[in-house]
Structure 1
């Protein structure tokens, strides 16, 4: 997966204009739980971990324990374990 070559182009230009980095900054591209999570615009999960475990950089964060929709009224919902 290549985004550019720093020998040919400044890193800032690669980050700002490469199609890969543009896509990585778009939370609407996220899949799985990350794609429906209400915190996707501020969190985004670990794209590196998603890619390492699934081969898909836009897959859900495999180690995230948060369930989308479980944060209500500014507090996490409490669940009981029997």
Structure 2
């Protein structure tokens, strides 16, 4: 219940960043440091004033699924939904790791079962961490 409904966890899972971090086209990939704004202003969603990048005001850059370069690996709907529930600052790393494993083992379709198998290998517990 805490994991699913906590305002704090949800603000990390689905952040509405403020200031230049909220305006930045790299928000969905980078997200900036959340510790520095918390220490500086008491608000982890505030802008990271130490970031030297100045947003250009362009479209948000997204992590793509099933692009032509990555077309050898497909995510089924449930596994993509689960991936999107992982906190944004870990999502790209998890996606890259799962796809790397799938390529190395000639697995063309990412499923929840595969994600669960890899999670258990990595963390060694049987309880689901992210529900579909």
TM-score computed with the length of structure 1 as normaliser:
0.60
Residue 15 of structure 1: how far off its partner (Å):
4.4
- In structure 1, distance between residues paired with 2:55 and 2:14: 18
1:21 to 9, 25, 36: 9
Alignment partner, residue 42 of structure 2: 55
Residue 16 of structure 1: how far off its partner (Å):
4.8
Greater helix content: 2
CA contact (8 A) 1:47 1:61 kept: yes
Residue 25 of structure 1: how far off its partner (Å):
2.2
1:34 to 21, 38, 57: 21
Alignment partner, residue 86 of structure 2: none
Q: Which runs of 5+ in 1 are unaligned?
A: 1-12, 72-82
Residue 24 of structure 1: how far off its partner (Å):
1.5
- RMSD between aligned residues: 2.1
CA contact (8 A) 2:25 2:55 kept: yes
> Structure 1: which 4+ aligned runs deviate by more than 6 Å?
none
Change in Cα spacing, 1:64 to 1:25, as seen in structure 2 (3 Å) is same
CA contact (8 A) 1:53 1:62 kept: no
